């Protein structure tokens, strides 16, 4: 065959070369992985450099009639993949420019080299698929590179209304050198590949069509690391809201994402990243591999949700982050009333795709916590949406939604869990207890209820009951970062500090992008008196976000532990500057303590006078904080009797964080005093 074949299509732009026949992209001679669908879009742009390629042109060429796909979502994802591969950006494009409301344009100079070595050797069979007429199944297979490609055709297409039959495809691992992704049955790829097809009926319900494929892959099986077996790990990215604008559709899509995470979390054979970390990738331009690296997972679930009246469509795709291979995908068109069934199915199918064992007890728990009242369910979603803002206004607004949900369905356990969380954050412990006990009475197998109970028992200084509740929560859901974090606090308070560090690290591992979890490791190390390690953790935290005051506050305490008072002053001043430890506008007691220990007594006394004048405001923010603050300052000044008097008063006022502070280095000078030991005894604690 001649290398000068007229069909050869090798082009160069910048440091990149693209072989449009073989579908290969190279940078400086090094091959770059780009999914097939994205490469096809790139090919269309490269063949018409400088011209606007409209979205309709791309739809007609790459998404022919009969292909089950949400075109807009798939195209947007394909373009994002191209930009990721080329190191390009939508804001400052060097290669692919978005032409608003029209399409895209390739703006870099393109040199057509006129030959494709691989293409000339492969012959006609290597031509891009879109140039050939495709059957329905073949058109569906073209979508194998994109998450959204499994989404069905619009609902106007006829589909069964009874005995829906999901279709499942199970395939052997593909060749390592040429991984393929499959999303719809049935497409036979490169010559010689043999795929095994197994069709099974999984679900029986009302208006529904469910299509799924599962591609077992060695990369997804648990890996042996030393003597321990690592669990398959997954992050669930925020499902894209395709239902239009408005807060109602927004909280619905976020709520469905949260519920899927919650369901997966109950499977002990999986490691599941917390919503507070995975949720930070909403509307991100980052690729799957980059996200997986940042979260420390081997697989990512992505997709979309569209609600229309009383129906819902959910599209989901599980991607192996290491190979870019689709491990499982599904599309669900159901009545809104079957939303819980969808979530349960998704969790079970993903467990199967990742070869994670699902116990009978876990299967049972996947079906719990539901309501038959759709209005109550949507109110709970709205409440979570508001609560996740982590503000007093958000918690107060969420309370209203949860209370209305309870009125509609007095047996809806998730509504009571939401109430308990909000009451705890707002400091209304008695109401939190009532909601928690009601949730446990309705269903004692939800981990979140036991976490709330554990937090209440800590506030009551009932340490045995707190441990029972928190360990029970972890037995029910080992993926619940909040449970690991609360248990780490409990262990620090009760003196099991090395175990506390381990639990804090587990919490961070499950919620790696939340600064509070990062800081919690530092606080656990402070409790364990590993000052250098704590300093390293807090420095890392403040580098991630210099405006995160708690990081600076923890750093100041670690410096105090080392006797580095000048450094502590600097760190605490940074904390105060961003509002990290000031309650009620009172000056920081830790800063006054550090000044006193550094020998600047006049500055310490000036801060003492200011703090005393604002004590009532401090107490309004947190009852007992004023007394606790005065105890810290007097300790720094060496005035032990006054310090112990104020510390005893803080115990009388049940200051929330007194059990935490009793191990802090700011009280080391009081530790041998009988009155200090008496205060510890009142709390049920000791050194």
- What is the length of the chain? 687
Give the highest mean pLDDT range of 250-254, 385-389, 491-495, 614-618: 491-495
| Tokens 């012959």 sit on residue | 123
118 with 232, same domain: the answer is: no
Confidence band, pLDDT 50/70/90 cuts, at residue 212: very low
Percentage of the chain with pLDDT > 70? 78
The per-residue pLDDT for range 422-446, each reduced to its tens digit, is 999 888 999 999 999 999 998 888 8
Last residue of a domain, one of 123, 144, 174: 123
pLDDT 10s digits, 336-367: 888 888 888 888 888 888 888 878 788 887 77
| C-alpha–C-alpha distance, residues 337 and 209, integer Å | 15
Query: Is the same domain home to 119 and 232?
Result: no
Q: Is the pLDDT of residue 487 over 90?
A: yes
Model confidence at 53: pLDDT above 90: yes
Question: So what's the pLDDT on residue 394?
Answer: 87
| C-beta of residue 366 within 8 angstroms of C-beta of residue 348 | yes
Domain-located, residue 342? yes
Range(s) of the domain holding residue 232: 227-354
In a domain? residue 319: yes
Number of domains, the chain: 2
- pLDDT, position 173: 32
Is 544 within a domain? no
Backbone angle region of 221, left / alpha / beta, with phi > 0 → left and psi within -120 to 50 → alpha: beta
Give residue 233's pLDDT band: very low, low, confident or very high (50, 70, 90). very high
In a domain, 289, yes or no: yes
At residue 113, does pLDDT exceed 50?
yes
- pLDDT recorded at residue 619: 63
CATH number at residue 59: 1.10.10.10
Compute the distance between CA of residue 671 and CA of residue 687 in angstroms, rounded to an integer: 8
CATH number at residue 342: 3.40.50.10070
Q: What angle do CA 133, 328, 350 make, to 5 degrees?
A: 165
Q: Is 407 inside any structural domain? A: no
Last residue of a domain, one of 319, 354, 389: 354
pLDDT bucket at 65, cuts 50 / 70 / 90: low
Domain assignment of residue 671, yes or no: no
CA separation (Å) from 89 to 79, 85, 92, 547, 579? 10, 10, 6, 27, 35
- Distance between CA 151 and CA 329 in Å, rounded? 9
Residue 532 lies inside a defined structural domain of this protein:
no
Report how far residue 397's alpha carbon sits from residue 62's, in angstroms, rounded to the nearest whole number: 46
* Inter-residue contact 524 to 500 (CB < 8 Å): yes
The Cα 275–Cα 511 span in angstroms is: 8
The pTM of the full predicted model, rounded to 2 decimals, is 0.67
Residue 96 confidence class, pLDDT cut points 50, 70, 90: very high
Domain boundary among 334, 354, 374: 354
Q: pLDDT of 258-273, one tens digit each?
A: 889 988 998 888 999 9
Could you tell me the pLDDT band of residue 219, with boundaries at 50, 70 and 90? Answer: very low
Residues 231 and 348 in one domain: yes
Longest dimension (CA), the chain: 97
Return mean pLDDT, the chain: 78
Residue 31 lies in a domain: yes
Structural contact between residues 288 and 35, judged by C-beta atoms closer than 8 angstroms: no
């Amino acid at each position: 065959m001649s290398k000068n074949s007229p069909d050869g299509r090798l082009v160069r732009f910048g440091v990149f070369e693209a072989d449009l026949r073989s579908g290969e992209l190279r940078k400086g001679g090094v091959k770059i992985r780009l999914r097939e669908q994205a490469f096809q879009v790139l090919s269309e742009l490269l063949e018409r450099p400088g011209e606007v390629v409209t979205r309709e042109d791309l739809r007609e060429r790459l998404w022919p009639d009969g292909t089950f796909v949400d075109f807009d979502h798939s195209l947007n994802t394909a373009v994002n993949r191209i930009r990721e591969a080329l190191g390009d950006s939508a804001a400052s494009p060097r290669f692919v420019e978005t032409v608003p409301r029209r399409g895209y344009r390739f703006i870099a100079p393109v040199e057509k080299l006129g030959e494709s070595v691989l293409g000339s050797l492969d012959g006609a069979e290597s031509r891009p698929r879109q140039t050939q007429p495709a059957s329905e199944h073949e058109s569906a297979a073209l979508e194998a590179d994109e998450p959204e490609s499994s989404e069905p055709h619009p609902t106007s297409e006829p589909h069964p209304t009874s005995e829906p039959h999901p279709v499942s495809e199970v395939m052997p691992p593909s060749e390592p050198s040429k991984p393929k992704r499959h999303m719809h049955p049935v497409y036979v790829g490169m010559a010689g590949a043999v795929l095994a097809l197994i069709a099974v009926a999984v679900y029986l319900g009302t208006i529904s069509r469910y299509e799924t494929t599962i591609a077992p892959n060695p990369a997804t099986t648990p890996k042996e690391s030393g003597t321990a077996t690592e669990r398959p790990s997954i992050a669930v990215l925020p499902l894209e809201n395709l239902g239009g604008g408005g807060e109602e559709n927004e909280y619905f899509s976020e709520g469905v994402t949260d519920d899927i995470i919650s369901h997966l979390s109950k499977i002990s054979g999986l490691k599941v990243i917390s919503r507070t970390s995975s949720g930070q990738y909403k509307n991100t331009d980052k690729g799957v591999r980059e996200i997986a690296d940042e979260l420390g997972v081997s697989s990512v679930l992505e997709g979309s949700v569209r609600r229309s009246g009383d129906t819902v469509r959910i599209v989901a795709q599980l991607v192996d982050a290491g190979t870019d291979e689709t491990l499982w995908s599904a599309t669900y068109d159901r009545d809104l009333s079957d939303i819980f069934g969808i979530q349960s199915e998704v969790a079970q199918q993903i467990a199967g795709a990742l070869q994670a064992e699902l116990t009978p007890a876990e299967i049972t728990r996947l079906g719990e916590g539901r309501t038959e009242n759709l209005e109550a369910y949507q109110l709970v979603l709205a409440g979570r949406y508001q609560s996740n803002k982590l503000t007093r206004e958000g918690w107060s607004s969420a309370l209203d939604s949860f209370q209305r949900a309870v009125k509609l369905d007095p047996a809806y356990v998730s509504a009571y869990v939401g109430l308990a969380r909000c009451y705890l954050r707002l400091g209304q412990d008695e109401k939190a207890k009532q909601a928690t006990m009601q949730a446990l009475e309705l269903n004692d197998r939800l981990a979140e209820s036991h976490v709330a109970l554990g937090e209440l028992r800590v506030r009551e200084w009932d340490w045995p009951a707190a441990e029972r509740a928190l360990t029970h929560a972890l037995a029910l859901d080992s993926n619940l970062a909040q449970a690991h974090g609360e248990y780490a606090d409990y262990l620090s308070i009760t003196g099991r500090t090395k175990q506390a560090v381990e639990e804090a690290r587990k919490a961070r591992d499950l919620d790696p992008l939340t600064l509070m979890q990062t800081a919690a490791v530092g606080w656990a190390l402070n409790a364990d008196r590993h000052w250098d390690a704590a300093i390293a953790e807090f420095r890392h935290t403040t580098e991630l976000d210099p405006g995160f005051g708690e990081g600076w506050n923890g750093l100041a305490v670690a410096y105090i532990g080392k006797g580095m008072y000048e450094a502590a002053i600097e760190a605490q001043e940074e904390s105060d500057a961003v509002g990290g430890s000031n309650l009620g506008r009172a000056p920081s007691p830790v800063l006054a303590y550090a000044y006193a220990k550094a020998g600047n007594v006049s500055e310490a006394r000036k801060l003492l006078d200011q703090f005393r004048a604002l004590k009532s405001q401090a107490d309004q923010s947190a009852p007992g904080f004023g007394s606790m603050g005065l105890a810290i300052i007097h300790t720094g000044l060496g005035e032990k009797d006054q310090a112990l008097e104020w510390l005893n008063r803080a115990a009388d006022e049940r200051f929330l964080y007194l059990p935490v502070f009793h191990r802090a280095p700011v009280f080391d000078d009081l530790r041998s005093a009988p009155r200090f030991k008496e205060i510890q005894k009142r709390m049920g604690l000791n050194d």
